[in-house]
Structures are given as C-alpha cells and as structure tokens.
Homo-oligomer: A and B are copies of this chain.
C-alpha cells in the first residue's frame, strides 16, 4: 500500500555526481542492492545521523570520516543494517571503505559507508568487496530511479525529488533520493536520505542548512515512533554550477537555494510517509495556538503515535474522542481544555473542548474519507505552531512487521 505516490520524477544529471547500482546478493539474489556515489573533488558535504545510542557501525564510521576528510565516495548497501554487530560490524564497514579506497587510490576517510536492512546479522563484507571493482568501473551519470531502487528495504516504491531554479541567469539543480517505510521516527535525520546539488556552498553553511531543514522535514515525520539505528541524511554540493561560493545563506542566491533544498527535503520525507508500512492515509497534524513550538511538536507527535487515533484513521472513522483523549494526556503544561478546537479536513469537530454544535456524524464521515487527512489542533493559548506528518495503522502494518526482520 502507498498513498498518492506518483511516478518517479525525472531527476536530471547533477554535474559532479556519478553513481553505479549493482548486485551484491547481500540478502536476496538477483536484486541490485549496492549503490556507490562518486563525488568530484572540491564539493561540500554535510551529514546528520541518528541519535539512537545503539547507532549502527557505518554511522559511527561516517561520523569519524566526516571529521577527517571531505567525502569522495558514498557506498550504500541494503539487506543488512550492520547494527548491533559490535566490533566485527565496525571492522566490516571499515574493510569496505579500505577496499574501495585502495581500488580508486583515495584516502579511507574519503569513503562513507551506509547500511540498511536487518539489525543484528553479521554484514557479509566479502560480498560487498567482491562487487566493488565492477561498481566502480560502471560509475556514470545514470538513471536516478535505479539508485532509489537500490536502497529500498520494505519500501514499495523508490523515492526521489528535485527542484531547479535560476538566479541572475545561472541555473541550479537540487535532487535526491530517500528510503524508509518502517522503524520511522527520525531523530536528527532519516534512514536514508541523499540530496545532491551543483551549487557551490561553504561546508559549514551547508551543514547548518541541513540541520535546520531536517527539523522541518525528516525530523517531523513518524510512522511507528521507532527511531532507527541507521538514520543518515547526506547533502552534497559539487560546486559544478560555477557560482561564487555561498558563505551566507541570507543572500538572494542563498535564500533561493534554501527554498529549493527545503522543498526537496520535505518531498523526500513525505514520500517516506506516503509509502509507510501498510499506509492507507497520508496524515498532516498541524498544532497551532501553542505556547511554544516544543509544545506544538509534542502534541503533534502524541497524536501521530497513538494506536487508537491511527486505527480510527485506518477505518476512516471520525472518532474525535480519541484525538481529544490524546491531547489531554500530552505532556505539556498549561493545557486549558476549554480552549481546545479540533478540525478534520476543515470540518470543525471540537469547539472549546466539547463537540462542536454544528457537527454531525455525516460531516465527520465525509471529512475522513479522503486518502489525505489534515488534523488541525488549536490549543488556544499562544502563537506557536508545528507540523508532523504520519500514517494510519492498518492490518498490513502488522502483517509486514510480524513477518519481516528489521
């Protein structure tokens, strides 16, 4: 199941970024399960990673390598998360980097490894190392859909997005891919997102922008409240567009880039929600009238994590009592229940803490029928707001997770 996903977008070549997608046979045979990106020298690369204390071996290595070098290669396998694998897992990720570096003649720290799939199984490092020469020989400007497919796990579709914009006669492209359908409640990044651009931008400015934008995209989606061990999001700016390097985002070019970058990040994050495990609804939870943005986010996530709200969404049931019960237990101070208003797709159901006078079951049912649902909760006590995106909880989610080993 997936909600409102169209076809994969026609992401254009991004100058300075080549890739290869090959079969390593990590979990399944005849599946392209390894993606290698090659980035031209002179690029800026920023990364954000999971805050899960049990982060995967490749996440630890990424953090170390980013402190030492600007990456030239990203190597991503699906089928095995290389998480909960201890020292052997770390050695496996390191061996992958060493092998790649020796073939192309770069530093080991110029390679970033990424893994996604089952947690706790030993990484079949040999299978990856064996196909690296073939992968490196076939690096090219290719079809981004292949790269999107090469990093999928329980995803039913590849996920990509791009924007192009023009400032002072120069043309720029921002494009990327993401994956994820379960164990999704990113904390500082999602598993996995890769965004590329040909713009020239300072490394620190890119890192700041990535952090800020992640909080408006991947860090505001949740499918099942479970933060992955492998979440990673990487932004690569090759500089091939030849603009004067952006050193301050508060310029015409900087702001145009921020807008395009934010839109690509949000589209990639939404694509994960739309392909959420078992999803039949794409749900936007807007909390407004809060005393702080933190309060708004807390209430939004409580709604998005409630099994009772999510099963009601699955049933297209305007069961507003469950939403109200969640707001009532949300861990925020100063909740005034008599000021709370709640609407579903524009239909006011709760007014001043009780059922709205004009509300009828027919209106509520009509509001709940579409695939896309927007829940607006007005706390009525302040001016702050935040938005969280999520899915419903369906039989298919249980089936997938009772059968699949994350």
Contact = CB atoms under 8 A, between A and B. Distances in A.
A329 interface: yes
A381 B405 CA distance: 29
A19 B84 CA distance: 56
Contacts of A327: 53-54
Contacts of A53: 327-329, 335, 337
Interface in A35-85: 51-55, 81, 83-85
A163 interface: no
A183 interface: yes
A225 interface: yes
B227 A54 contact: no
Contacts of A229: 321, 324-325, 328
A183 B309 CA distance: 10
A230 to B, nearest CB: 9
A224 interface: yes
Interface string A75-117: 0000001011111010000000000000000000000000000
Contacts of A306: 224-226
Given A317-B402, A337-B54, A325 B395 contact: no
B398 A325 contact: no
Contact of A120 (B81, B183, B324, B328): B324
A182 B86 contact: no
Interface residues of A, number: 60
Interface in A347-365: 350, 353-355
A232 interface: no
A355 B84 contact: yes
A87 B52 CA distance: 45
A351 B81 CA distance: 19
Contact of A86 (B81, B319, B328, B353): B353
Given A52-B328, A229-B325, A319 B406 contact: yes
A308 B183 contact: yes
Nearest to A321: B119
B354 A85 contact: yes
B227 A325 contact: yes
A23 to B, nearest CB: 25
Nearest to A352: B86
A405 B326 contact: no
Contact of A320 (B120, B224, B329, B397): B120
Contact of A311 (B51, B55, B398): B398
28 contacts: A52-B329, A53-B327, A53-B328, A53-B337, A54-B324, A54-B328, A83-B321, A84-B324, A84-B353, A85-B354, A86-B355, A87-B354, A118-B321, A120-B324, A120-B355, A224-B306, A224-B307, A224-B308, A225-B306, A225-B307, A226-B306, A226-B325, A227-B329, A229-B324, A307-B397, A315-B403, A319-B406, A321-B406
Which 6 pairs between the two chains have the least Cβ-Cβ distance?
Answer: A119-B321, A54-B328, A86-B354, A311-B401, A315-B402, A120-B321
Given A86-B353, A307-B393, 16 more contacts: A52-B328, A52-B329, A54-B327, A83-B321, A84-B320, A84-B350, A84-B355, A120-B320, A226-B307, A226-B326, A227-B325, A308-B406, A312-B401, A314-B398, A319-B405, A395-B399
